[in-house]
Structure 1
Amino acid sequence: MHIAVLTLKIALPGCGSLKEKRQRMGGLHERFGRYPSVAVCESGDLDRHDASEWTFVVVGNASRDVTSLCSEIEDKLQRTVDGRVLDATREFL
């Protein structure tokens, strides 16, 4: 069993309220929570309007599967979220 913790810090330039932040980050739980091998939560910058931090725990039988799913999450997030990924950190347990 292989486990990775992927943490992404996202800048949301021009975001003026928590409501707008929720709209811009819209549906990360629904999108990535459908994967049976992924757990997702907003893990930081909860009260900031212009930033967000999300953590994904990815589990798989093979290291390459976990690494591939982490890359897929990063790619999808960069394409679908109205913001910039400032930092992506992977930790393998």
Structure 2
Amino acid sequence: MTFTVSLPGCTSLKEKRQRIGGLHERFGRNPAVAVCESGELDSHDKSEWSFVVVGMTKREVTSLCSQIEDKLQRTVEGRVLDVRQQFL
């Protein structure tokens, strides 16, 4: 699952890191989730994050993806522009 987030008014990479604020810590604690910043690394006002979610069933993975999306929407100081999911 990949999220693209707009960070309106963000003027520096330092501010970007503060606004995104600890996605690794929030989501990376779960052993079924791997997370990394995967794009827009040098952009100040946009960020892209990818999550790899594993589970025994598609239902379990879908549920965890929904939880991640909900939490991301509530905690990031920005606007989610795009969410892409791919099941393997």
TM-score by length of 2: 0.99
Structure 1: unaligned runs, 5 residues or longer: 1-5
Q: CA offset at residue 77 of structure 1?
A: 0.3
Q: Confirm or deny that 1:66 pairs with 2:61.
A: yes
**Higher relative contact order (Cα pairs below 8 Å, separated by 6+ residues):** 1
Which of 7, 23, 48 is 1:12 aligned to?
7
Could you say which residue in structure 1 is the equivalent of 2:30?
A: 35
Moved over 6 A (4+): none
Identity %: 74
Aligned-residue Cα RMSD (Å) equals 0.3
- Going by fraction, where is strand more abundant, 1 or 2? 1
Cα deviation, 1:35-79, whole Å, max 9, x if unaligned, reads: 110000000000000000000000000110100000100000000
Shift of 1:32: 0.2
